[in-house]
């Protein structure tokens, strides 16, 4: 079944990682997987552009179905393989509401994180301002407090939308992994720390862990004091 699926991806790209986790959770191992190099600009290759005219990864295709947006691909996989592997969207609309809420808040979370850790990559030197750096950091700290509070409220041994691993964890999990890769302190954010420890043990996360993180497990300390 997975042989007619193709995923073009980049190591350490959270949007790519989301799709890879969903594929693992739905037992869709064996898809055509192609790791591209950002350094070599392979995400702008014709192969990617044929699937994703923006020249971005993930570029995902199942038969004739093309789904490039990571969230869309995750929804598609859950819908197409509903009864296979992990059930990622619960049945009850009330439970679904929390999953969807956390998923889409996850986009804000990711945006606030990238504004801090990729600031110099995104913003040309002449456009950088200390005030913007300070504001971005404050925004991230406020966001972290929200997520720490959500987890606190759910109690111990929880995922983002309750006791089961859902699509919320699929899409927000990579953001949390990035926080710790960039030095977030599990002492300052104990609930996020516990959640990250649980995520790391998940077979789908292990199977899709960014290869360059495996080669160089150390990471950075950008967020260690926030
Ligand atoms: N909205 C897309 C975002 C994809 C995206 O930003 N991909 C990045 C890698 S993390 C990329 O390909 N960047 C290269 C570029 O924009 O030129 C999704 O969630 O799938």
125 Cα to the center of ligand 1, angstroms: 22
Give nearest CA residue, ligand 1 atom 14: 56
Per-residue pLDDT tens digits for 20-51: 999 999 999 999 999 999 999 999 999 999 99
pLDDT digit string (tens) for 143-193? 999 999 999 999 999 999 999 999 999 999 999 999 999 999 999 999 999
Expressed in angstroms and rounded, the spacing between residue 62 Cα and the centre of ligand 1 is: 19
Mutate to test the pocket of ligand 1, among 57, 114, 118, 174 (most ligand atoms within 8 A of CB): 57
Q: All domains of the chain, ordered by start, with CATH?
A: 2-80 (3.40.30.10), 93-215 (1.20.1050.10)
Ligand 1 pocket test, pick from 11, 15, 115, 212 with the greatest ligand atom count within 8 Å of Cβ, gives 15
DSSP conformation letters of the chain = -GGGEEEEEETT-HHHHHHHHHHHHTT-TT-EEEEE-TTTTGGGSHHHHHH-TT--S-EEEETTEE--SHHHHHHHHHHHTTTSSS--S-SSHHHHHHHHHHHHHHHHHHHHHHHHHTHHHHS-GGG--HHHHHHHHHHHHHHHHHHHHHHHHH-SS-BTTBSS--HHHHHHHHHHHHHHHTT--TTTSHHHHHHHHHHHH-HHHHHH--HHHHHSTT---TTTT-
Q: pTM for the full model? A: 0.97
Give the model's pLDDT for residue 62. Answer: 98
Share of the chain above pLDDT 90, in %: 97
pLDDT reported for residue 1: 62
């Amino acid at each position: 079944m997975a042989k007619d699926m193709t995923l073009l991806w980049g190591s350490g790209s959270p949007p790519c990682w989301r799709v890879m986790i969903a594929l693992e959770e739905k037992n869709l191992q064996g898809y055509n997987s192609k790791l591209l190099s950002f350094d070599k600009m392979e995400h702008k290759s014709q192969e990617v552009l044929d699937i994703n005219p923006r020249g971005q990864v993930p570029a995902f295709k199942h038969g004739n179905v093309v789904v490039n947006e990571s969230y869309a691909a995750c929804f598609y996989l859950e819908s197409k393989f509903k009864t296979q592997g992990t059930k990622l969207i619960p049945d009850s609309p009330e439970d679904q509401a929390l999953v969807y809420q956390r998923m889409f808040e996850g986009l804000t979370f990711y945006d606030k994180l990238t504004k801090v850790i990729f600031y110099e990559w995104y913003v040309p030197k002449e456009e950088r301002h200390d005030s913007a750096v300070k504001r971005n950091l404050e925004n991230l700290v406020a966001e972290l407090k929200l997520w720490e509070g959500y987890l606190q409220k759910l109690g111990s041994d929880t995922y983002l939308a309750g006791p089961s691993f859902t699509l919320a964890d699929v899409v927000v999990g990579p953001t949390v992994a990035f926080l710790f890769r960039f030095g977030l302190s599990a002492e300052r954010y104990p609930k996020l720390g516990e959640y990250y420890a649980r995520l790391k043990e998940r077979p789908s996360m292990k199977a899709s862990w960014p290869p360059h993180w495996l080669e160089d497990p150390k990471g950075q300390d950008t967020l260690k004091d926030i």
